[in-house]
Copies of this chain bind each other. A is one copy, B any other.
């Protein structure tokens, strides 16, 4: 019996647990831990874990794999606490939204006998908490895989196995690139959502404006309803990236201000251009998913046993081809920082 421990039973940790359980992995036990007893009890009721363990250290002892699914800043503390209890050869991963700091903490606090492979699933929703967890939350979504410098190849394969079990698509990235990229497409939208809410709500006419706010306002402000602690952690652990993109957005809004105050012709062209860009993006996402989905479909599903997925032949072949594809792009081994 192999033990997989999920620390942090919120939306992400709970959804991972549900997907792993749904795969009916043989000889694998999913153990959950959350500092909030109510979260643990909800996770058990939702069937996101086989059992929960209130003691953090006990929860990771003898575990083959530990998945840290807490807000980013808590990852540091969790690593410090669990380090002495981790078994030799254990694979540790996380689901944090930023990666430079997380990889630094792993290097500093985790023992050399374990491997850290950072992860970041590109999925989420407005609601937080295990009560909103979904077995298919990660299906067909990009899942960033950012191995630590000294991570064993087997640990990388273990995380790839987990990613595939979730139905997600692994994407190898360098931690610095990861943080700068997600700052633009994930953390900037978050700050914009929050800024939209705070800017409009401070207007003396907010009561009337609120009645007029409709689906457009709802969508653009959606990320302001995310977990405030997570949101703060994201910004604090990705300061440089977030500030870079806030500056870019201020510049962009100044450009739009000029376009609006002018005659409108260039503004019209700009709206056409962003319309086209977004269509291409949506189309690209679908095509990409379509291609990936069919490629995966050709390979027999190897989820009878989580351990066989990790070290089994079929997965080994699959992960090798993934890594080769990335290496071909001249980026070296996918889990090493590319030389520039």
Contacts and interface: CB of A to CB of B under 8 A. Distances in A.
A239 to B, nearest CB: 6
Interface in A259-285: 259-261, 264, 267-268, 270-275, 277-279, 281-282, 284-285
Contact of A200 (B184, B201, B213, B235): B184
A222 B219 CA distance: 7
A190 B216 contact: yes
Interface string A244-264: 011111111111110111001
Interface in A188-221: 188-201, 203, 205, 208-221
Contacts of A105: none
B236 A195 contact: no
A203 to B, nearest CB: 6
A253 B198 contact: no
B243 A261 contact: yes
A174 to B, nearest CB: 10
The 9 closest A-B pairs by CB, nearest first: A228-B271, A189-B220, A185-B213, A122-B214, A232-B268, A199-B252, A236-B264, A197-B274, A195-B252
Contact of A256 (B123, B180, B191, B211): B191
A216 to B, nearest CB: 5
A70 interface: no
Contacts of A246: 253, 256-257, 260
Contacts of A256: 191, 194-195, 246
Main secondary structure of the interface of A (DSSP, over half): helix
In the complex, which range does the number of interface residues on chain A fall in? Answer: 35 or more
A255 B256 CA distance: 20
Given A184-B209, A253-B246, A239 B225 contact: no
A277 B122 contact: no
Contact of A243 (B124, B229, B252, B257): B257
A260 B243 contact: yes
Contact of A228 (B184, B220, B248, B275): B275
A197 B243 contact: no
Contacts of A211: 142, 171, 288
A263 to B, nearest CB: 8
A186 to B, nearest CB: 5
A188 B260 CA distance: 12
A278 B225 contact: yes
A142 B195 CA distance: 24
Contacts of A260: 191, 235-236, 239, 242-243, 246
A223 interface: yes
A233 B142 CA distance: 37
A239 B261 contact: yes
A109 interface: no
A223 B219 contact: yes
Contacts of A42: none
